[in-house]
Chains A and B, each alone.
Chain A
Amino acid sequence: MVSRTTDDYERMAMAGCVAICEPAFWAGFDRASAQGFYDYFRQITEYEPKRAAKFGIEHYCWLCINPKEAEDLKLAEEVIGLIPEFLQKPGVLGIGEIGLNKNSRNELAIFERHLQVAQDHGQLVLVHTPHLEDKLKGTRLIVDALKGFSGIDPGRVIIDHVEEHTIDHVLDAGFWAGITLYPESKCTPHRAIDMLEQRQAERIWMNSACDWGVSDPLAVPKTMRAMVQRGWDAAAVERVVWENPKAFMGQNPRFTVA
């Protein structure tokens, strides 16, 4: 939400949103130093929760260096070294969104470094999968890498931005799957509902992309309306947008939304 205006918080609150989780992500440009990340981690663990609280929204976050910045291995190692200091902050849910972007060897190495931190500190993991033509290959590499960490329970990992050609790889391996709703290039509400119906909504959550591009913080509420149009009853909608995220994030005792 650091990329969004306060008006977005107000709109989300009015739409019934009571909690959000914000992954650490790319700034729209490569940060110049680890100190820049230190300040960013302070922003999303200290300031952003206060901004959300003004609208009655609980703010949670995930920490990492985004795979887009993984080619600078020295910087990435320095940033990963900062993360443990922040893991005890009240709203921190785990490590994320880590993963791959262009499926390079350096990205994979930094992904595995993050997984080691998650394993060592018993953290939940939120994984970003690459976009567009890179998604299938990246998802396969990510699932293979995760299988190398025996100390990480697949039920404590959510692999995000799944689409029709990747969702089965993720769910069949025991991981949670995230469907990201986006006005351009990712998933639309009706495609998301198709996937939810095909997989009977198990171990799946939906999220609204809220980044620097064209994105819509109300994408989840809009999809809820589409679910009702498609014959979903209120309990089934609630399961996807409320019970499922609570079940996953509630594995971290810091997640206290009742």
Chain B
Amino acid sequence: MSLSWQSPQPVNLVDLGFMDARSKLIDLAAFLDRVQRAGQEGDFRVKALKEAIGCLDGADPGRAREVLLRFSDLTTEPIERATVQGAVGAVAI
């Protein structure tokens, strides 16, 4: 591939994305409130979500990667047999 990379012109990314990010954060907060009121905060997926939220406090610009790692199966060996076809988004503890 001989095409050279040219960095995009600087734009105000906060103008571009703040309202969307704000909305998603409030949605997340409301979700946690909702499951707590319903007594479902013990679900492993909710626990994983709360643990992943801690990654947002990180100092490095690798937060998305860190959040994804928190939701990932970190084992390395194949399982014997697939008994389901879907994924649920977090690893059952």
Tell yes or no: B90 within 8 A of A by CB. yes
Asked if B82 and A133 make an inter-chain contact with CB atoms under 8 angstroms apart, the answer reads no
Asked if A230 and B6 make an inter-chain contact with CB atoms under 8 angstroms apart, the answer reads no
Q: How far is the CA of A101 from the CA of B64 in the complex (A)?
A: 22
Q: Chain B interface residue count: which class?
A: 35 or more
Asked if A164 and B68 make an inter-chain contact with CB atoms under 8 angstroms apart, the answer reads yes
**Total interface residues on A, using CB and 8 Å?**
45
Asked if A201 and B5 make an inter-chain contact with CB atoms under 8 angstroms apart, the answer reads yes
Please tell me which one of the listed residues B8, B65, B86 contacts residue A197 in the complex, with CB atoms under 8 A apart.
Answer: B8
Asked if B78 and A105 make an inter-chain contact with CB atoms under 8 angstroms apart, the answer reads yes
A-contacting residues of B (Cβ < 8 Å)? 1, 3, 5-11, 13, 16-17, 62, 64-65, 68-69, 71-76, 78-82, 84-91
A108-B78, A231-B9, A247-B1 known; A136+B87 contact, CB < 8 A? no
Within 8 A of B (CB), among A184-218: 185, 190-191, 194, 197, 200-203
A71-B82, A202-B1 known; A165+B72 contact, CB < 8 A? yes
Asked if B72 and A105 make an inter-chain contact with CB atoms under 8 angstroms apart, the answer reads no
**How distant is B23 from chain A, measured CB to nearest CB, in Å?**
13
Tell yes or no: A252 within 8 A of B by CB. no
B13 contact set on A, CB distance < 8 A: 230
Asked if A137 and B82 make an inter-chain contact with CB atoms under 8 angstroms apart, the answer reads no
A104-B80, A105-B78, A105-B80 known; A163+B87 contact, CB < 8 A? no
